[in-house]
Structure formats: structure tokens, C-alpha cells
Amino acid sequence: MISNPGSVGLERCRFAVVDVETTGARVERGGRIIEVAVAILEDGTVHLAYEAVLDPEARIPSWVTRLTGITERDVAGRPRFSDVATDLGRTLEDGVFVAHNARFDWCHLAAEWTAAGVSGPPGGPPLCTVRLTRRLVPELRRRGLDHVSAFFGIENPARHRAFGDALATARVLRALLSRATERGVQTLEELVDLHERPRHRA
């Protein structure tokens, strides 16, 4: 949560890096989550803390199957989001919510939690690694996960799967934090300020 980041040192922060795969790009058009994963970055180490394939209770479009490899058969009999909402929320507790193109993941999760009738996601806006890349790697003009990963030499053998993309994003975040530290950013408050700063001031 970063609604009140204070002066917590970056070395003491726990980052919960999230990725979701969905039945569609837009929540308002009925997009539902079919896979969710959380990778934790803490003390410089990355590990996968949570991963689940979910029954979206909706049809999976063929283009989503082509992109992710996830089929109707794969989600049959899997838990629904409401079944995992509490455990997922616990995984995200006490962590700074991070995602690549964070608004997408944040909006889908918020909609699913609302539909499930449970509290979540954590309070405070998320950190977006696309936005941090814009601030910290201005020479990189294309900021999709593939391009940023390649820039930092990060491999992702499970692209367009939530667990693969969450792990890759966590490693991208680790590289971005190193750059931020080189620029004198020492606290979460300073990182949030950099994240929120207008582009022309970066």
C-alpha cells in the first residue's frame, strides 16, 4: 500500500508484483480473470508467492487462448475468484502493489473483489513499472514488458502467463529500483514522488 508511504527505506520494502490474464481487455465489457499471480520482491530477492488458474464463469475468446495457451478445458473445475479472494488478499497484505501497466491489473482485480463482495484490493494507488521505466529509462522508447525485459537482460519463458509475467515484472522492478537508488532515491516516499511526477519533470 502506498497511500501513506512515509519515509520507509526502499531496502525495507516488500513489493507485491501482480499479473492477471483475462477474458478481455476491458472490465466494462465483461473481462474476467482467468489467471492471477503474485511475485514478491523483498531484500533483493524474487519469489513466486501465489498463482492460480481460475474459472472465469465466462467464455474464453479464441484470441485469448492463442495468446495465453489457456483453454476452456484448463479452467473447468478450477476455483472462482470468490473462492480465492481472501487468500489472494492476504498475499498482498503489507506489500506495495506493483504491476506492468498497473491500471489494467488493478481495475480487473478491483472489479472481481467487488463482484465477490469482499474487501480489496489494498488501499492506495499501485506503482506501475511502465511509468517508472518512463521516468528512469527515458532512452527506452518502447515500454512493453518484452522490450523492458530485453533491455535489462531478463528472460521470460512463460510470456502471457500470469506467473511468468509477474516474475519478469518483479525482476524489472528490481532493476528499476537499482536505477532509482543511483539517482538518490532512498525511500518509498521518494519513489512514489518520482512515480507521480509529471513527465516533463522526470
Q: How confident is the model at residue 51 (pLDDT cuts 50, 70, 90)?
A: very high
Cβ neighbour number for residue 132 with a 10 Å cutoff: 25
Q: What is the pLDDT of residue 3?
A: 43
Could you read off the pLDDT of 104-154 as tens digits, one per residue? Answer: 999 999 999 999 988 766 666 689 999 999 999 999 999 999 999 999 999
- Residue whose C-alpha is closest to residue 58's, from 23, 25, 83, 85: 23
> What percent of the chain is modeled with pLDDT above 70?
92
Contact (Cβ atoms closer than 8 angstroms) between residue 58 and residue 96: no
Domains of the chain, earliest start first: 10-201 (3.30.420.10)
Contacts 24+ apart (CB under 8 A), 109-115: 109/18, 109/20, 109/33, 109/36, 111/27, 112/32, 112/33, 112/81, 112/85, 113/81, 113/85, 113/89, 115/81, 115/82
Q: How confident is the model at residue 202 (pLDDT cuts 50, 70, 90)?
A: very low
